[in-house]
Structure 1
Amino acid sequence: MTNVTPMMKQYLNIKSQHQDALLFFRLGDFYELFYDDAVTASRVLEITLTKRDAKKENPIPMAGVPYHSADGYIETLIQNGFKVAICEQMEDPRQVKGMVKREVVRVVTPGTLMEKGGIDESQNNYIVSFIHEDGYALSYCDVSTGELKVTHFEDESTLINEVSTIQPNEIVVNQPLTDHLKCQFSMITETVTVRENISNTTYNVNTITHANMAQAVQILLDYIFDTQKRDLSHIEEATTYQAIDYMKMDFYAKRNLELTESIRLKSKKGTLLWLMDKTKTPMGARRLKQWIDRPLIQQSEIEQRHDAVDQFLTHFIERDTLRSYLTEVYDIERLVGRVSFGNVNAKDLVQLKYSIAQIPNIKTLLQTIDSEAIAHFNALEPLDDLLATLQESLVDEPPLSVKEGGLFKEGYNAQLDEYLDASRNGKTWLAELQAKERQRTGIKSLKISFNKVFGYYIEITRANLAQFNPSEFGYERKQTLSNSERFITDELKEKEAIILGAQEKSVELEYALFTELRSYVKTFTERLQHQAKMISELDCLQSFAEIAQAYNYVRPTFSKDRTLNLKESRHPVVERVMDYNDYVPNDCYLDESEFIYLITGPNMSGKSTYMRQVAIISIMAQMGAFVPCQSATLPIFDQIFTRIGAADDLVSGKSTFMVEMLEAQNALKHATAHSLIIFDEIGRGTSTYDGLALAQAMIEYVAETSKAKTLFSTHYHELTELENALSSLKNVHVAANEYKGELIFLHKVKPGAVEHSYGIQVAKLAELPEAVISRAQVILDAFEADSATQSNEQSVNPKHLEVQESTATYANSTHEKTSNVEQATFDLFESEPTESEIELEIKRLNLSQMTPIEALVKLSEFQNKL
C-alpha cells in the first residue's frame, strides 16, 4: 500500500497477524480501530465512525474507545461473537524518539473471557476442542476457574450430545467442521476456530495415555496460551472422564424437559435449575447446573449424596448456620483464576480473605454433625497462614486500582510507613504554610494547590495582585492565568520534593508489595481450588436438603429388578408455579413385565406434565436429590429419550415431522432395557393412517427389542386395542368429566383407555367462534356415524396393522363410501323409503305424557332391539 505512514504501516503489520479479531490499537489514551474493524465496532458498540486523513482521496475509517473504560466495550463485542486483539504500547512515548513499539498482549475470545463483569457467575465459561481420528477425542476448559477435562468416544451422536451438554462459548478444531456439525453447533456458539498448525510447546499431559485425548488437550491449551500470552498456572491437570459414567440425555431431551432453560422464554425461570437452586455461592450454583446436566448412574455414588442430604435434612439448625457461613464465601475458583491470570485487584484479595475465613467455621460445624455421610468434607483445610497474611496486609476497603496506593495497613511494611508518614506530615506542613502566608501577605483568599504539570504552587487572584509585590515576599512567578497568578517559593520547592518523593515512592512500593502478595497467594492455587470444589459440593447438598424440607420431598430408593413405582408423584416445577394445594399427584408403576404405559386423554388434561414428571423425578433421584413423591422406587436409567412438542429445525431445513421422526429414531436405535422413553403424540405430523401405523409400529418395536420403560401418549384410540395383544402394555388415561356442556379436567391418571377425545370441548374452552364449534360437532357426528357403519362391515386387527395395509384400507374405505353414496342416490329415485318398526314406534310415542324414567326405559328397549 503506497503513501502509508509509519504508524499505519505498524498497524497493518500487526493486523495481518490477527485477521480473525478486531484490533484494539493503543494510541495514547484511546484504543483505535481502523478500516473494516472500525465499521464493525461502530455498528456493534454504537460509537461514532470518523475518518483518518479525511482530506485525502481515500480516508481511512476510524473509531475509538477510551482505554480506561475499554472493558465494557470489549465485553459487548465478545457477547456478539467477536474476538478482540489488544495491542498495547510497550514503551513510554515520552522516553522514545520515533515510533513507539507496540504488540498484542492478549486476544480476548468468547471462551477465554476472564473479566468479572463479562461472565455470568452462575455459569461456567467453557471452551471446547475435539479431533476426529479413530473416534472422537474431546477436551474442554473453563479458563476462569481452571477446570480441564478430556474424554474419548466413538460416534458423532455422542459428540453432539457432549457439546450440547457442555454449552461452550467457543470451539477449537484442527480441521473445518462438516456442514452437518456446523448446523448442529450453530445454535450453541458462533465462534469456531480452526488451528491446523499447532506449536511445539508441550503441556503437562503425561498422565493421559490415550494419544488422541492428549492431542485434544494439546490443541486446546496451545490455543488458550497463545491467545492469553500469560501465566495460567491455575489451569488444573486434565481429568479424564467417560460419557457413559453419567445418564445420557441429548439436546432435545434437555430442552423438552426444561432442565436449565425454558422453551418459551429461554430463561432460567420455570426450569428444574430454577427450582433447585438454593445455593449460596457462585461455585455451588455452577456445580448444581453440572449435576443437572450429568446425573450419576453408579448407585453407590448416588446414595452417598442421598446420605449427606439426609443428614442436612435432619440437622436443620446446623444447616441454617451453614447457609449463613456460605453466604460469606465469594467465588474462590474465579478469584484464584484472576490471581494466576494477573488481573486480580486488592478488593478481590479481600474477598478471598473473607471466604477462607469461613472454612474453619464450616469445618467445625460439620464435625458437630459427626456423620459418616459427610466425613469426606473433613478434608476442608483452614488456610491459617494465608488468612493471617491477608488480614495483616490489606485494608478492608482498598481502591480498585492497584497503582494509586492506599492498599496496605499501617504497620505492614516499615519503609512504606516512613513514606506515608512523610507524605502526611508534608500535607500538614502545607496547611500550616498556607495559613502563615495568608497572615504574612494579608491576602485571605491565598491558597496552596497542586497539579501534575506544575506540582505545588501558591495561587493569588487578580483582584489581590494590584497592591501585591511578589519579590517583597520572595515569590517567583510560575504561571499567569486570566483570573489569577501562580507562584513558587524556595521553601515550597524544597518541601514539594520531599512530599512528592514520598508519595511517588509509596505508590511504587505499594504496587511492588501487592505483586509480591499476589505471587504469595498464587502458591496456594492448588489448595484453594481443592477447598472451592468441596465447598461447591457442600453448597449443592445443603440446597437439596433445603428444597426437600420446603417442598415435602422424600428420599428415593433404587430397585434391582428395574421396577419403577412412584406414589403420589408431582411435577416439581409445575406444583411450585401453581398453588401447591391445587396440584393433583399421580402414581406410576412399571416393571419388567409391564413396562409401557399407553396414555390417552383430552388435550390440556395433563398427559405431557405426567410424563415429564416421571423423567424429572428420575433425574433428580440420580443427581442425589430427594424427589416430589409420597414414596419413590426407581431403576437407575442409563438414558432418557423424549419426543415432545412440535418444532421445525429451520437451520437444517427439517420439517416438524422430520424432526419428530429423527428424535424417535434416536430413541428406538439407542434405547436399552435400562432407558426411559417419553413419546408424546407420535405420528401427528402426517396423515391419520400413516401416523397410526408408525405409532403402533414403534410401540411394538420397543416391546419386542429394547424393552425400555416407555410412556406413550396418543389421541389414536385405535392403539388402545394393543393392550389385548401386548402383555407389556397397559392403558391408562387422564380423567376428565363433562358437566352441563363444560369440560372439567381432573388431572388424575386412571387405569384404562379414555372414552372420548373432548377435542371440541377444549376448542370451546379456547373460545373459538360458536359457529365453528357447532359446525365441528355436526361434522364429528357424521364421521362417527360413518365410522360405526364401517366398523360393522370390517374389523382391523391393530396387532397386524402396517403402513401398506393402512393405505389399502383407506383406499377401500374411500371406494366403499363412493359406492354407498351412488347406491343411496339411485335408491332415492327408484322407490319411496320404507320406515322401520322402531321408527314407527317412535312416531307413536306421546312424549308429553311420559316421565323421564319412562322415556329412559323406552330408549333402552329401542337400543336393545337395534
Structure 2
Amino acid sequence: MSLTTQTIDTEKITPMMQQYLELKRQWPDCILFFRLGDFYELFFEDAVTASRELELTLTGRDCGLEERAPMCGVPYHAVDSYIHRMINRGYKIAICDQVEDPALAKGIVKRDVIRVITPGTITDPAILDERRNNYILAIYKLNRYYGLAACDLTTGPFEATALITGATSAKLLDEIVRYAPSEILVMDAFREDPLYSVLTEKYNIVLTTRPDSNFSLEAVEKWLEPLEGQQPLWSQAAAAILIYLVETQRVKPSHIKPVQPYSLDGFMNLDPIARRNLEITETIRDQNRKGSLLWAIDRSVTALGSRLLRRWIEQPLLNCSDIRQRQDAVAAFKEQFMRRQELRECLHGIHDLERLGSKLTMGQANGRDLVALRQTLGKLPAVRSHLDGVGESWLAELAGRIDDLPELTGLLERALVDDPPVSVKEGGLIRAGFDEQIDHLREAATNGQQWILDLEKSEREKTGIKSLKISYNRVFGYTLDVTKANLAQVPEHYQRRQTLANSERFVTAELKEMEDTILSAQQKLVAREYDVFVMLRETAADRIRDLQQTAQALATLDVLAALAELADREQYCRPEVDLSDQLRIRQGRHPVIERVLPAGEFVPNDLAMDMNAARLMILTGPNMAGKSTYMRQVALIVLLAQCGSFVPAAEAHIGLVDRIFTRIGASDDLAGGASTFMVEMNEVAQILQHATPRSLLVLDEIGRGTSTYDGLSIAWSVIEHVADRDNLGCRTLFATHYHELTDLAPKMPGVFNSHVAVSEEGGRVNFLHQIRSGSCDDSYGIEVARLAGVPAAVVTRAQDILLQLEQEMGPRQKLKVRRNARPMDGQIDLFSASQALKNTDGIIEQLSELDIHKLTPLDALNLLHDLHQRASRGKRSLT
C-alpha cells in the first residue's frame, strides 16, 4: 500500500478526508473508527489492518488523489463486537463520531474522537469478566527504586505503593502479577529495564509508552490532591494514570477514588511461581478459573463479592487482629443459618453498583442501567433489615454503611418506565405524568399516528385499493404503498416517489403536510426525553461516593456470608491463627480436589510442625500416591486461614506465615534459553535468597533434573541450609525420591520423615493416600507405569530388569554422614569430593576415549566387569 496517513499531502485530498487525516494524526497509535452515516469506516493503513483482523472486504474510496484510499467499514449498530475483537488482539481503538446534527451542519459535519478504548480502559460489560477487576498500572522508576500505581476504571479503586528496599525488581513483578493488569503505562526509558521483555513476552501485557512529562512532579501538582512532605515515588505513577484516563475517556472520571497508598508489609507475599503452582485463581494446564482455589471456594452471589473474594485470597493478611475480625463475622453468619440464607437471597438480586457508578459518571449509562440502579436501591432496606440484631460488631458497622438513597430511588421510580430501550436518543424512556412538556409532545405525536391510520383507511375506501398501506422510512418519510397489480387504480393527484420490484410508493400534499407536523412533534419529544434522562443520570452520578460506600459494604457482606456458607456446607473449621511457630492440622483436606471427587472419597491427613523439633518434613512415597496434593493442601489451608476464612480440616493451628514459596514441577523455558534443570535451580535460588524464618516452603523433587549424584548433593545441601536455624530454620515440606535423604532425619535437628502409605495385595499396589510417620524405601515406579497403561510386556520386562539390577547391586547403602573437619564449617558432607575424584577420574577418562563401534560383545562384557570392580572399590573407599 503506497498511501499512508503520514505521507499524504492534505491540500490535495477531499475535505472529508482532510478531516479524517487531522484526527488520525492526533491518534497515530490507534485504529480510528470514523462515523459516516450508518457506518464506521476505516481508511488507509487502518483499513488494511482491520480487513485482515476482522475478515472484512477491503475496497476503496475516492479521496481526491489518483490512487483510491483503501477502505472497509462496519455498521454502526454492530460496531461493539468488532471493537471487542480488535481490543482482544491488543489494538487501541479511537471512536470518532458526529458531534453536531447533520441537518444543522454547514458544510462537512463536525466530528471528533469521543472515546479511546485500550485494554486497560475498557468499560463495556460485554467484554469484561464481572468477577474480576480490569486494572491499568503505571510504573515510575528512579534509579533502583520503583513507584507503582493501579486503577480500575470500571470500579474506581486507585492504589499505589513504593518499592524501596532490597530486590525491588522481584517485588515489583510480584505485585504486577497479583494485579494481572490489562495494560501498563511506562516511560520510554523503561524499555531498557529487564522487566520490559518479561512483561510483554512472558505475561503478554500491553505496555504503553507515555511522555516523561506525564510522570513529572508538575503533573503530580496538577492532577493529585496536595500531599504533605516529600512526594512519594508512587505519586508520579498515579499522575500518569489520571492523565491517561482523561485523555482516553475525553472526560474526567469523577468516580475514581482518591489514591490509597498501601504497604507490602501488611500482606503475605506470594510470588508468581507460588500463585501458579498453587493454582490460586486459575489452573496451570489451561489458565481456567474452574479447577482453581477461587473456583472451589467462591459462594458469593454478586459480582461485587466475587471480585472482593479474589482480592482477599490474592492478599492474605499478616495482622492477626484483622484475621480474627473476618473470622468473627464469618462465625456469626455460620451460626445464624436463616439470617444468612435470607441475606444471600436478597443480595442475589443486587446489580453491580461499582460498575454502574462508573458508567453514570462517564455519561455511558443508559435507561436500563438506571432501572438496574433503581432496583438495587429498592432492595437495600431489606438487606439492612436482615442484619438487625446480628450481634457482631463488624457486621453491624457494615449495615450502617448501606445508604438506600430514598430520594434518588423515588425520583427514578417516578421518572423511568419499567422497560426502557437500549438507546437513549430514540425516546420511550420517561413515564407519563413525570414531565408536562413530554406529555404534550407525546400526545401530539400519538394523535399524528392516529391521523395516519385514519388517512390509510380513508384512501383505501376512496381508491378501492384494499391492500394500500402507509409506511415510513428515513429516506422518503411517509408514503402510500400500492402493489403493481393495483397501479391502474391510483388517482392522478398521487405523486410517485419510488419504484420497487413489486410495488410503487406515492405521496400527496395532505400526507406531506401532516408528516411535517408529526415528525416535528416526534423530534421534539425525543430531544426532550433525552434532556430529562441526562438530568436523571447526572443526579444519580452526584451520589457516586454514597453508591461506592454502599457497594463496598455489600461486597464485604457477600464475601463474609459466602465464606460462612462454604464453612457450613463443606464442614470447614475455624483455625487458630497467631504469632506462634505452630503448623498443626488435623484431618486436613485439599479444598479443590475434595470438591471434584465424590462426597467422602477424599482421604484427610494430619500435620504437626513447628520451628523447633519438627520444622522440615522429608516426604517420600510413590508417584501418584498424593505427595504433591498433600503439600499443596497444607499451603492452601495456610493461605485460607490468613484470608480470614475457615479451612478444610477438623482442627487447625497456624502460626503466621509471611511468605509461601513453592518448587513443584518444572518445564523448559525455551524462549529464555533455560533447561528444565536451570528453571528448577532459578526457583530454588529465589527461595533461598528471599525466604525468612516465618516462611513456608513447599519443595518437590529438588535435583531430579540432573544426574543422580548431582541431584542428591543439591537436595542434601538445600535441606541442610533450610533446616539450619542459623541460616533459615523455616517450616518446610520436602518431597523426594532420593530415599537416601531419609537417613538425615535422626542426624539433623528439626528434620523428620513422613511417607505416603501403600498396601500390596496379590502383586498389586494400592495407594492409600495416607501420610504416616517414617520413610518409604520404594518408589513403586513400575506399578505406576502399569497403572498409566504401559503395555504389559514392557512392564513385565521392567520387573525382570529391576530384579536383576537389585541382585547385582545389592540393597541401598546407608549414607554415612559425618562432620566436616573444618572448625568454622558445621555442615554435613555427603562424600569426600577429593577422594571421589581420585577413584573415578580413571574410569571417566577410559570411557571418554572408548570407541564403542569397535567393541565386540565379549570385549564389552569384559570391560563392563572391569569397570564394575573398580567402581566397587571406589565406593568402599567413600564409605
Q: TM over 0.5, yes or no?
A: yes
**2:292 pairs with one of 271, 284, 295:** 271
2:91 is aligned to: 82
1:763 is aligned to: 785
Inter-CA distance 463–72: structure 2 relative to 1 (3 Å threshold): closer
Inter-CA distance 4–433: structure 2 relative to 1 (3 Å threshold): closer
Unaligned runs of 5+ in 1: 830-866
Letter in 1 for 2:794: V
5 Å matches for 1:590-629? Answer: 590-593=609-612, 594-629=614-649
Q: Which has the larger radius of gyration?
A: 1
- The answer to whether residue 198 in structure 2 is matched with residue 184 in structure 1 is yes
- The answer to whether residue 445 in structure 2 is matched with residue 423 in structure 1 is yes
3-state SS of 1:367 partner = coil
Shift of 1:772: 3.3
Shift of 1:677: 0.4
Shift of 1:785: 4.3
CA contact (8 A) 1:693 1:802 kept: no
Inter-CA distance 784–809: structure 2 relative to 1 (3 Å threshold): farther
Inter-CA distance 798–321: structure 2 relative to 1 (3 Å threshold): farther
2:223 is aligned to: 203
Q: Measure the CA separation in 1 of the matches of 2:443 and 2:831.
A: 97
Q: Measure the CA separation in 1 of the matches of 2:841 and 2:765.
A: 34
Judge which range, 70-79 or 773-782, deviates more.
Answer: 773-782
Inter-CA distance 409–626: structure 2 relative to 1 (3 Å threshold): same
- The answer to whether residue 82 in structure 2 is matched with residue 69 in structure 1 is no
CA contact (8 A) 1:690 1:803 kept: no
Shift of 1:529: 0.6
5 Å matches for 1:364-443? Answer: 364-377=385-398, 378-443=400-465
Q: Measure the CA separation in 2 of the matches of 1:426 and 1:817.
A: 103
User: What do residues 811-843 of structure 1 show as CA deviations (whole Å, max 9, x unaligned)?
Assistant: 736869999x99x969999xxxxxxxxxxxxxx
Q: Measure the CA separation in 1 of the matches of 2:27 and 2:513.
A: 51
Shift of 1:809: 3.2
Inter-CA distance 828–211: structure 2 relative to 1 (3 Å threshold): closer
1:503 is aligned to: 522
**TM-score, length-scaled by structure 1:** 0.89
CA contact (8 A) 2:141 2:190 kept: no
2:171 is aligned to: 158
- The answer to whether residue 162 in structure 2 is matched with residue 144 in structure 1 is no
5 Å matches for 1:108-123? Answer: 108-123=117-132
**2:764 pairs with one of 718, 742, 747:** 742
2:357 is aligned to: 336
CA contact (8 A) 1:690 1:806 kept: no
Shift of 1:487: 3.4
In angstroms, what is the RMSD of aligned CA positions? 2.9
CA contact (8 A) 1:561 1:592 kept: no
**1:479 pairs with one of 497, 500, 505:** 497
**1:106 pairs with one of 97, 101, 115:** 115
2:562 is aligned to: 543
1:809 is aligned to: 836
1:642 is aligned to: 662
3-state SS of 1:116 partner = coil
Shift of 1:25: 2.5
5 Å matches for 1:650-799? Answer: 650-704=670-724, 705-785=727-807, 787-788=809-810, 791=813, 795=816, 797=818
Inter-CA distance 476–662: structure 2 relative to 1 (3 Å threshold): same
User: What do residues 620-646 of structure 1 show as CA deviations (whole Å, max 9, x unaligned)?
Assistant: 111111111010111111100000012
- The answer to whether residue 290 in structure 2 is matched with residue 294 in structure 1 is no
Shift of 1:205: 3.4
Q: Measure the CA separation in 2 of the matches of 1:241 and 1:783.
A: 60
Letter in 2 for 1:606: G
Letter in 2 for 1:245: G
Shift of 1:159: 0.2
User: What do residues 788-813 of structure 1 show as CA deviations (whole Å, max 9, x unaligned)?
Assistant: 48949x94559866588468537736
3-state SS of 1:343 partner = coil
Q: Measure the CA separation in 1 of the matches of 2:803 and 2:843.
A: 19
2:874 is aligned to: none
CA contact (8 A) 1:35 1:60 kept: yes
Shift of 1:379: 1.9
3-state SS of 2:213 partner = coil
- The answer to whether residue 342 in structure 2 is matched with residue 321 in structure 1 is yes
- The answer to whether residue 590 in structure 2 is matched with residue 575 in structure 1 is no
Q: Measure the CA separation in 2 of the matches of 1:606 and 1:727.
A: 26
Inter-CA distance 771–810: structure 2 relative to 1 (3 Å threshold): farther
CA contact (8 A) 2:580 2:656 kept: no
Q: Measure the CA separation in 2 of the matches of 1:487 and 1:64.
A: 34
3-state SS of 2:704 partner = coil
3-state SS of 1:366 partner = coil
Q: Measure the CA separation in 2 of the matches of 1:655 and 1:256.
A: 18
CA contact (8 A) 1:105 1:228 kept: yes
2:876 is aligned to: none
CA contact (8 A) 2:390 2:396 kept: no
**1:50 pairs with one of 41, 48, 59:** 59
Q: Measure the CA separation in 2 of the matches of 1:781 and 1:196.
A: 71
Inter-CA distance 817–414: structure 2 relative to 1 (3 Å threshold): closer
**1:632 pairs with one of 647, 652, 665:** 652
Q: Measure the CA separation in 2 of the matches of 1:190 and 1:826.
A: 58
Shift of 1:281: 0.8
Shift of 1:578: 1.2
Q: Measure the CA separation in 2 of the matches of 1:38 and 1:479.
A: 36
Inter-CA distance 723–468: structure 2 relative to 1 (3 Å threshold): closer
CA contact (8 A) 1:308 1:541 kept: yes
**TM-score, length-scaled by structure 2:** 0.88
Letter in 2 for 1:396: D
3-state SS of 1:725 partner = coil
Shift of 1:545: 1.0
Inter-CA distance 508–770: structure 2 relative to 1 (3 Å threshold): same
Q: Measure the CA separation in 1 of the matches of 2:864 and 2:625.
A: 46
CA contact (8 A) 2:100 2:109 kept: yes
Letter in 2 for 1:143: L
Shift of 1:339: 0.8
Letter in 1 for 2:407: D
User: What do residues 189-247 of structure 1 show as CA deviations (whole Å, max 9, x unaligned)?
Assistant: 34111113435662233247543221110111111211221131111111111112111
**1:229 pairs with one of 239, 250, 253:** 250
3-state SS of 2:419 partner = coil
User: What do residues 676-701 of structure 1 show as CA deviations (whole Å, max 9, x unaligned)?
Assistant: 00000011011111111111111111
Letter in 1 for 2:473: N
Letter in 1 for 2:206: T
CA contact (8 A) 1:126 1:166 kept: yes
Q: Measure the CA separation in 2 of the matches of 1:747 and 1:478.
A: 87
Q: Measure the CA separation in 2 of the matches of 1:51 and 1:771.
A: 68
User: What do residues 539-572 of structure 1 show as CA deviations (whole Å, max 9, x unaligned)?
Assistant: 1111111111111111111244211110010111
CA contact (8 A) 1:693 1:801 kept: no
Q: Measure the CA separation in 2 of the matches of 1:544 and 1:789.
A: 52
Inter-CA distance 279–761: structure 2 relative to 1 (3 Å threshold): same
Letter in 1 for 2:436: A
What is the percent sequence identity of the aligned residues?
42
Q: Measure the CA separation in 2 of the matches of 1:435 and 1:524.
A: 52
Inter-CA distance 144–549: structure 2 relative to 1 (3 Å threshold): same
User: What do residues 263-296 of structure 1 show as CA deviations (whole Å, max 9, x unaligned)?
Assistant: 1121011111111111111111111111111111
Shift of 1:106: 2.0
